[in-house]
Homo-oligomer: A and B are copies of this chain.
Amino acid sequence: MAIKTISVIGSGNLATHLVKALYNHHFTIKSIFSRNIHNAGMLAEKVNARPVSVIRELAPADLLIICTTDSAIAEISSQIISESLVVHTSGSTPVSVLNCHKNFGVLYPFQTFSKFAELDFSKVPLFVEANNANNLQRLKQVADAISGSVEELDSESRLKLHLSAVFACNFSNHMYTIAKDILQEANLPFSLLNHLIEETAYRAVNSGNPAKCQTGPAVRKNMNVLGNHQDLLAANPLWQKIYTFVSDSIMESEEKSHGTL
């Protein structure tokens, strides 16, 4: 049976964008849960739904979407008693966390969301998983309605996808943060790096092969420079460790790709 009605647990950035996209594609949003009834009300008002702050007051619906922080999913799930299809939206949580239900799955949008920026949901890749072929089909229909890019992906691969984004985005951003702190020590502005940061991202994306774009003292195996940099980092052992292991990993990648081991 095709999904027509949906209730949503959560009212954060992802819930907001997801609920609006579903509403705009003619799904009926029955109710929206948030522990803070004011937050639930703000979002519910926009999509003609009923706000609730107690799980058991959620209106029955064909699909229940748990759209909370990862650590809250298991506990929320245990409070839901329903034969509806119950899904979560987490990249790093296995589908099995919901296996106390008869019908369950995952609807993972691969994108970071900001409450403020407008977003074209049709361009957000969605990855789906479900406990059987029928539920997968029903979930795919919902996903296809709101996004132009829908793929099936199991829990292990989804965790890898999430981990790849942690390296490519969260960790690269922290490299910028360390760079800013180092510049500050020399009374130099972060804006000096603007061009290099944008150029590095542009080259990786446009080549499709960041390993081939690698520059710097590690890939050149310039041990003299590596030593000078490590000395400079002596006052910050954590940054020194990061410097050492990332440099080692760059050298290891280089050796693998050129077979010079």
Contact = CB atoms under 8 A, between A and B. Distances in A.
B178 A167 contact: yes
Nearest to A151: B188
Contacts of A160: 182-183, 185-186, 188, 232
A177 B211 contact: yes
Given A70-B224, A163-B232, A249-B238, A196 B180 contact: no
A75 interface: no
Interface stretch (A30-38, A77-85, A131-139, A202-210): A202-210
Main secondary structure of the interface of A (DSSP, over half): helix
Interface in A233-251: 233, 238-239, 241-243, 245-246, 248-250
Contacts of A260: none
Given A197-B205, A238-B248, A242-B249, A175 B167 contact: yes
Nearest to A91: B225
A157 interface: yes
B222 A208 contact: no
A219 to B, nearest CB: 8
Interface in A174-198: 174-180, 182-183, 185-188, 190-198
Q: Oligomeric state, in number of copies?
A: 2
A168 B178 CA distance: 8
Interface in A73-104: 92
A253 B236 CA distance: 12
A214 B228 CA distance: 29
Given A71-B224, A178-B249, A92 B172 contact: no
A164 B202 CA distance: 19
Interface of A: 69-71, 92, 110-112, 125, 153, 156-157, 159-180, 182-183, 185-188, 190-205, 208-211, 213-220, 222, 224-225, 228-229, 232-233, 238-239, 241-243, 245-246, 248-250, 252-253
Given A163-B232, A164-B193, A191-B208, 9 more contacts: A92-B229, A112-B199, A161-B188, A161-B192, A164-B188, A165-B196, A169-B193, A170-B219, A190-B210
